[in-house]
Amino acid sequence: MKDRPNESQAINAKRQTNKAHIAVLLTNLFFSANYILVKLISPKPVGPFAINLARVGISLGLFWIVWAFGNTPLRIAKKDWGRFILCGVTGIAANQMLFIKGLTLTSTIHAALLTLISPIVVMLAALWVLKERFTINKAAGLSLGIGGAVFLILQREASAHSSDYLLGDALIVLNAISYAIYFILVKPLMERYSALHVIRWIFTIGFFMMLPFCWSQTMEVSWSSLTWQQVAALVFISTAGTFLAYYFNAYGIAKLGASITGSYIYTQPVFVSTIAVFVLGEVITWQKIAAALLIFAGVYLVNIKKQDSALESS
């Protein structure tokens, strides 16, 4: 009889973990759909910065509505405001503007593969900030990952959906760096506040930072002339692709940790490539496959650092 409460707690913990894994998988599926839907409506008839302001603004409203029906505390410790502001910059303002603008210039498959360098950026940050040891595996992973990214960028894209692939690829790389920094910064906040509380304030800060850069392009859009398909795409990008994706991702970081949650990013190239081939007519070439293998290998070597540490300490 004494074991039953423990068994019940274990079952409940298992359910919570499973829910978190499902949420993070859906997050990356929604993010992947964004790649395709953005291509269908931007840069025409909706400019990339207009998409950014719409998706962040709509999501922000939804986060505040959800909070209004909950019991999430409003107070934020003074020491945490600086971190909240940095998360608003790296996770929303810079991240969103770089991603959407870069995506409108390059191919979806390029963008999805280049996003995978985020774990490598996290490793570099750990080496610099946490003074982790620079092992052979990390050196090899860094070389392979960067080599794969450079090889991919050097491949010219002849596609109706990529007007300036080189600039687009560069912006996607900067977006991946920004998102990796956000992942590092947001983890301590998730440990002290609820996921909704954190993500609501991060979106609020990010929205007002984006406003001066996105307002003029937003006003240029002829919203009344959009077709219902274009409106539906924008609604999905704003709700499932932003509101639910960020909420589920924050939930995953809180329940599973940043490392496990971040590892789900590897599913995005699979989702994106599959959809892009059928919807946008993009082609999977041997160069893209080779670049993908190099990047995946690099990320794998970077992520076995924990095993290295365990062996070194034993």
Residues 217/50, Cβ–Cβ less than 8 Å: yes
Confidence at residue 136, expressed as pLDDT on a 0 to 100 scale: 79
Euclidean distance between CA atoms 214 and 191, whole angstroms? 32
pLDDT digits (tens, 9 = 90+) for 48-87: 999 999 999 999 999 999 888 876 666 888 899 999 999 9
* Domain boundaries, given as residue ranges, for the chain: 21-313
**pTM (predicted TM-score):** 0.78
Mean pLDDT (whole number) for 145-163: 66
Mean pLDDT (whole number) for 279-285: 78
Where is pLDDT greater, at 261 or 309? 261
Residue 184: pLDDT band (50, 70, 90) is confident
Average pLDDT, the chain: 82
Confidence at residue 309, expressed as pLDDT on a 0 to 100 scale: 42
Confidence at residue 314, expressed as pLDDT on a 0 to 100 scale: 30
pLDDT digits (tens, 9 = 90+) for 204-214: 999 999 999 99
Euclidean distance between CA atoms 168 and 10, whole angstroms? 47
Mean pLDDT (whole number) for 192-199: 86
Q: In the chain, what is the straight-line distance between the N-terminal and C-terminal CA atoms, in Å?
A: 39
Q: Say which range, 90-104, 131-145, 196-210, has the weakest mean pLDDT.
A: 131-145
Looking at the chain, the whole-number percentage of residues with pLDDT higher than 70 is 86
Looking at the chain, the whole-number percentage of residues with pLDDT higher than 90 is 32
Euclidean distance between CA atoms 93 and 90, whole angstroms? 6
Residue 311: pLDDT band (50, 70, 90) is very low
Confidence at residue 72, expressed as pLDDT on a 0 to 100 scale: 60
Residue 173: pLDDT band (50, 70, 90) is confident
